[in-house]
Amino acid sequence: MNTREPAIVGFVKDWDDVPTCSTHVLRHMGQTYPVLWISSIGTRKPRPGGRRDWRRLLRRLRGGLGPAELKEGRLRVMAPLLVPKAQSGPARWLNRRLFRWLIARELRDMGGGPVEYWCFVPNAVDLLPPPIAAECGSGVRGSGFKIIYYCVDDWTQFRNLDGEWLGRKEAELLARADVVFAASRFLAEKCERAAGSKVHYVPHGVEYGKFAGALDPALAVPDDVAHLAKPIIGFYGNIRQWIDFDLIAELAARRPAWQFVLIGPVFCDISRFARMPNVHFIGRREHDRLPGYCKAFGAAIIPYDLRQPRMASVHPVKTRELLAAGVPIVASAVPELKGFDHDILLADSVDEWIRGLERQLDRQDRAAISERVRPDDWAARVRRIRAIVDEVA
């Protein structure tokens, strides 16, 4: 049995993107183990008119063959130069050759121990080491590495991605994975149909100490919301087409004295709200600043559009963050948000949303709301995850 510490290679998104569960899992493991964060390997082709896509591509061209950059603890980040959404045989061959050359250099610096490949995107399967006996048809893999698939989304349901292709990649990855983690019950059940007992349901955690800081009287509310009239109804996350903007517009129209503050980068048309003075899109704010904004929220909303099939599988990372900050929530009836009792009220009609928000705004038990999610701290989650992975031969 190899007792050397593992080197962890994580296929995730860009390092500077909005934090999600992959961010928290790898950052926690990076406090103890050497972690190589592989920034987005491309789940789609760059859009012809997408300036953000082309800026990212230019960054890759400038530094995609260079060494990884140490970010914190033992975690380093590499943004390899690869063909995005490689589907053809030559493109996959080129990506594998480039990646093996780049990663060999990094693994030497990470101690030379056994390797764990943590795949948070399904097309990472194309970059994994091949089965050692594949040429013999036995499918037996060599010792020295493990494959972990951390399923965070139903990849077949994204409007802006090739769901059929990602579905095929996920099937390949589920067949090869030693361990599978699923962030929602829906995803766990889906993965179990292919991977059986290898699948473990692990709901998202929370940086509890950070967000419970919202209860500290000494924490200042940020200036850009401190001047707003109360109550403030808050949301943060990526502003995309899966948000129910019709609902937000109706709530804001029927309750003009309420201020709706939506924090996050905007990826869709929100021009309709320019005429609504009580709806404020203030852009992205860094994760460390979010507790201050949570302190300003009288209540929070998670207004996802349930007409989109993807909503059956989502588990918003923000859920326990808001609760740790003591903020009661009203949300769309996302399956994974059931079971939080009165701390999260689920609503369908606009009338239900208004009644739910009125009830949550009257709450005076923010400390108790926070205390109920203390056991869900990411440190405890990652310890459980590590125990499962370490038990796999």
Whole-model pTM: value is: 0.89
State residue 316's pLDDT score: 95
Which residues make Cβ contacts (< 8 Å) with residue 109, sequence separation at least 6? none
Ordered alpha helix ranges (H), the chain: 21-29, 51-63, 89-109, 163-176, 185-195, 208-212, 223-226, 245-254, 290-296, 318-324, 350-361, 366-371, 378-391
The pLDDT score that the predictor gives to residue 52 is 58
The pLDDT tens digits along the chain (393 residues) read 445 789 999 999 999 888 999 999 999 999 999 999 999 886 555 555 556 555 655 555 555 567 899 999 999 999 887 877 777 778 888 888 888 888 888 998 898 789 999 999 999 999 999 875 443 333 334 447 999 999 999 999 887 788 899 999 999 999 999 999 999 999 999 999 999 999 999 999 999 999 999 999 999 999 999 999 999 999 999 999 999 999 999 999 999 999 999 999 999 999 999 999 999 999 999 999 999 999 999 999 999 999 999 999 999 999 999 999 999 999 999 999 999 999 999 999 999 999 999 999 999 999 999 999 999 999 999 999 999 999 997
DSSP letter string, 132-145 = TTGGGT--PPPSSE
CB proximity list for 176: less than 8 A, separation 6 or greater: 125, 128, 131, 141, 147
Total residue count of the chain as it appears in this document: 393
267 with 239: CB under 8 angstroms? yes
pLDDT of residue 50: 55
Same fold yes or no, 7-205+377-391 and 208-374: yes
Residue 63's pLDDT is 52
Domain locations in the chain as residue ranges: 7-205+377-391, 208-374
- Residues 346, 301: Cα–Cα separation, whole Å: 10
255: left (phi over 0), alpha (psi -120 to 50) or beta: beta
User: What's the topology of domain 208-374?
Assistant: Rossmann fold (3.40.50)
CB 42 within 8 A of CB 85: yes
Q: Residue 51: its pLDDT value, please?
A: 61
Task: Determine phi and psi for 15, rounding to 5 degrees.
Answer: -60, -40
222 DSSP 8-state letter: P
d(CA 17, CA 237) in angstroms, rounded, equals: 11
The CATH fold assigned to 7-205+377-391 is Rossmann fold (3.40.50)
